[in-house]
Every structure is written in C-alpha cells, then in structure tokens.
C-alpha cells in the first residue's frame, strides 16, 4: 500500500523531486554500508557474456554491466566525463577506474549520497559534487560525455535536464542514457528526447537483459537490505531493489514498462 501511494505521488512533477530527494537522503543516512555502492537494476547480456572485473568488483557485476553497456558505444579514454545522478558512486568509480577518462565528476542532488561517495571512493581523477540535474552547477561546454543511469525518472522536468545536458556538453560530445518508463510516460519520454537539441545515435530496449540481471542478483540484494529497514518499508524496498516478483519486475516482464538505453550526440558546431 505504501509503495502504491509513493508511486502515485511521484507521478506529480512538483512532488516527485521532493519525495525522491527525501528518499535518497534517507537511504544514504540510514544505510552507510560501504558494500552498497549501486542503486540500479543491473544488466546481463547472456549467460556467457561476462565482463572482466577485479575480484573486489564481482559482487556488483550486474550493476556495473548496466553502466558498461550504457557507455559501451562511446570512447571515454582521455575524456572529461560527467555522471548525473551518481547515487552511491559505484558507477562513476567504475568508469574512472576501468575506462580511462581524464576525469569523472559525479553529481547528485542528495547531499548525503555525495558525502557517502566522498568518504568511500577515493580514486585519482574522480570527484563528487552536490547538484541538480535540472540546473547543473557547471559552465557551458565543460564535458565530452554525460552519463545518466536510472536517475531521470526522478526529475521534475526531463526537458530542463535535456537542455542542461546539451548546454554542458562540448560540440560533438555524447550523452549516454539508460532508464525505464511505464505506460504513458514512455511516449512522453520519446517526445521529450525528440524535442531536445541532441541528435539520436542509437536506441535499444534492454528489458530482457535487465530482467536477467534482476533475477540473478535478487538474493544478494535481499541479503543487503534484510534487517536494515523497518518491516513496514519491506514492500517498498523489494520494489526499489527490483527483486524477483516485485512490481517493477512484473511490469518489465509484461512490457508495461520499458527499460531503454540511448546514445545522443551534440552537433559538432
Ligand atoms: C536509482 S538511483 C541511481 C544511482 C546510480 N546512477 C546507480 O545506478 O547506482 C537515482 C539517483 O538519482 C539521483 N537524483 C534524483 N533526482 C535528481 C536530480 N534532480 N538531480 C541530481 N540527482 C538526482 C538520486 O539522488 C539517486 O542517487
């Protein structure tokens, strides 16, 4: 019931920003476990499509694979990368440690998540900053690549965010984006993307791959969250974590929700 109420409330753009911010601040404050550095549903291409990872990163394999797939069509080596909605920092850390950019900056509007990232990810070239996707705290043309993973559904205005992405990207820069939308929100997202100042390079639905990861990672996520939160938040957490049989799992199964990744490019001049 609580999960349903939350879902209904976040449909209103004005409430959406406020509620998500409270939620992510609560999570960072309440759950300081250093092992929990990702908050996405993950990606698994096929049973044998494995990415080479260091042993310490193995527990986060599926969440890392979602990042890897999201940026896989764009060369990051030597680039200045911005991640918007960097959460607990695992994705920005993966990008900086494995993909060779000059710098990666993670931005999140949860100040408590940013404090968690600063305390737990000390990697040369990697930094974190508090900021709002809809009013990014950077000059025009500051980055070569903007990355955004499973965060945009929280924004009050997707249009404002896309405007900001186009503003902070250098000419010829790329926007690598992955997220899910349910029902009529899918059409709305298509319209918002089509109206942006960016040019579409590719679009790929990844429901099957995300579902595969959700199923493979369910037990680990359950163990991470079990006993950490009050019982009355249990269903909300199962949905949030995307466990097997959760509402989001069922919606992705039925096609009522679509998880899509995109690459866009800003015109060269
Ligand atoms: C589901 S989490 C995903 C985090 C991370 N991308 C990952 O995959 O682990 C969504 C994140 O987006 C952030 N977020 C939501 N709205 C935002 C906004 N308007 N500006 C910046 N960050 C925002 C939240 O604080 C949260 O950390």
Domain ranges of the chain: 2-265
pLDDT at 221: 86
What does each C-alpha distance from 149 to 9, 32, 180, 232, 267 come to in angstroms? Answer: 22, 21, 10, 28, 22
Ligand 1 binding pocket (C-beta < 6 A) is 17, 20, 24, 38-40, 84-87, 90-91, 108-110, 113, 132-134, 149-151, 154-155
pLDDT tens digits, residue range 177-198?
Answer: 999 999 999 999 999 999 999 9
Ligand 1 centroid from CA 141, angstroms: 22
pLDDT tens digits, residue range 216-242?
Answer: 999 888 887 776 667 666 777 777 788
CATH code: domain 2-265 is: 3.40.50.150
What are the φ and ψ backbone dihedral angles of 245, each rounded to 5 degrees?
75, 0
pLDDT at 21: 79
pTM: 0.92
User: Where residue 4 falls among pLDDT bands split at 50, 70, 90?
Assistant: low
Dist. CA 221–CA 204, nearest whole Å: 26
Element at 93 (helix H, strand E): helix 90-98
């Amino acid at each position: 019931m609580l999960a349903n109420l939350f879902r209904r409330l976040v449909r209103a753009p004005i409430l959406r920003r406020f509620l998500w911010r409270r939620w992510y601040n609560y999570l960072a404050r309440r759950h300081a476990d250093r092992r929990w550095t990702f908050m996405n549903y993950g990606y698994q291409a096929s049973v044998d499509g494995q990415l080479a990872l260091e042993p310490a990163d193995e527990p986060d394999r599926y969440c890392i694979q979602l990042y890897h797939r999201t940026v896989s069509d764009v060369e990051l080596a030597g680039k200045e990368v911005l991640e918007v909605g960097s959460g607990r920092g695992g994705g920005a850390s993966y990008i900086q440690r494995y993909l060779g950019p000059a710098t990666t900056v993670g931005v999140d509007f949860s100040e408590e998540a940013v404090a968690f990232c600063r305390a737990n990810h000390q990697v040369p070239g990697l930094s974190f900053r508090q900021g709002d996707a809809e009013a990014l705290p950077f000059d025009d043309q500051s980055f070569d690549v903007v990355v955004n993973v499973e965060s945009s559904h929280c924004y009050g205005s997707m249009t404002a965010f896309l405007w900001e992405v186009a503003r902070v990207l250098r000419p010829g820069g790329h926007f690598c984006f992955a997220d899910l939308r349910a029902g009529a929100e899918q059409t709305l997202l298509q319209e918002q993307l089509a109206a942006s100042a960016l040019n579409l390079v590719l679009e790929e639905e990844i429901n099957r791959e995300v579902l595969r990861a959700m199923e493979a990672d369910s037990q680990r996520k359950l163990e991470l969250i079990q006993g950490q939160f009050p019982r009355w938040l249990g269903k909300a957490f199962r949905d949030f974590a995307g466990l097997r049989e959760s509402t989001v799992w069922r919606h992705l199964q039925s096609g009522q929700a679509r998880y899509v990744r995109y690459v866009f490019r800003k015109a060269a001049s």
